[in-house]
Amino acid sequence: MRTFLRFAMAVVMLVSTVLLAGSAQAYSGAFFPTQSKGNRGVDVLAAQYLLRHHRQSADADSVFGTGTDTAVRAFQKARSLDVDGIIGPNTWARLAVTTRQGDTGDAVRALQVQLNAKHNAKLGVSGTYDTATRTAVTNFQRHAGIGVDGITGPATWKNLLWHYDYPAMSSGLCDKDPDNNGTVNWGTGATVGQLEEAVRRFVPSGNGKVPLGDISREHGGSLNGHSSHQLGLDVDLWPIRTDSAQCSAGRITWQSSTYDRAATRKLVQEIRATAPGHVKLIFFNDPVLIREGLTSQYANHDNHLHVRYCERVHPNSLYQC
């Protein structure tokens, strides 16, 4: 009996360890997401607010343009960092100051926009670290499996910046689920910001909304029906139809009679234009778009576009620009 009880307790402890490891696994590989000229999204916006906190001039517009590049280089020079205009781990570590309840200013705004995008905190971007902001921080810390103290220090910043964002369907997207994976539309802050802007620019053309397939799980990892889509940088989109019914009718291929090449070309052009230097590839087998240098051929990509975004520095070489 004692042997059985010891065995049962060991099983319980093993199961508990596995469950705990599973809940923390999403963050075991957390890292500061590199941002550089051409990026856009909530991580750029946070960096701009943090630059302003450090008395550098930067528009808080979510776009890493020439002004932000200049501000980053000035900050790097002032802190004796490599002056390359790239916000990597060392620059993030110096930008992301510790904040706590009672603090005010742009560093708090950086925190609030991150909490809203990454954990749906619904905070006003007031720049005041009030009770609601502290509560949102502690909620995220529990979600991330890190120390829960309501203070936004280095570990919280790194996990929050690394955490994936979720696109707003109001930007002109409609959600499709071809592989029965559910709402696995989570992507890096840059992926989501760049995708949303491309869609916003496309929709006024009058060709309907853009069907979104899968991006990634909330914390990455393997995904049914995909060999990639694990790092929040791969996006599947459906081609546009001549009747603009791509969100309500069945999926088509580039060979279908209802395929709208001109509208699909427009979508691809906007994707590239809104993320200059940060589109690694677009797989789609329309031979005309391939000849035009807009897409590339790859097996099983007759009926959807696979967009892969990239960064100047990334742990996986397949996602380096």
Domain locations in the chain?
Answer: 42-162, 169-319
- For the ranges 1-15, 232-246, 274-288, the lowest mean pLDDT is seen at 1-15
Helix (H) or strand (E) holding 287: helix 287-291
Burial per residue of 46-82, b for 16 or more beta-carbon CB atoms within 10 angstroms, e otherwise: bbbbbbbbbebebebebbbbebbbebbbbbbeeeebe
**Any idea which architecture 169-319 has in CATH?**
2-Layer Sandwich (3.30)
Higher pLDDT, residue 225 or 206: 206
3-state secondary structure of 268: helix
Percentage of residues of the chain with pLDDT beyond 70:
92
Tens of pLDDT, residue by residue over 160-173, are 999 999 999 999 99
**Any idea which architecture 42-162 has in CATH?**
Orthogonal Bundle (1.10)
CA-CA distance, 164 to 117, in Å (whole number)? 8
State residue 106's pLDDT score. Answer: 98
Whether this model's pTM surpasses 0.85: yes
Taking CB atoms within 8 Å and a gap of at least 24, the contacts of 43-48 are: 43/114, 43/161, 43/188, 43/189, 43/190, 43/193, 44/68, 44/189, 44/190, 44/193, 45/110, 45/113, 46/110, 46/111, 46/113, 46/114, 46/161, 46/189, 47/72, 47/87, 47/92, 47/95, 47/110
Tens of pLDDT, residue by residue over 88-109, are 999 999 999 999 999 999 999 9
Which residues have C-beta within 8 Å of that of residue 262, sequence separation ≥ 6?
none
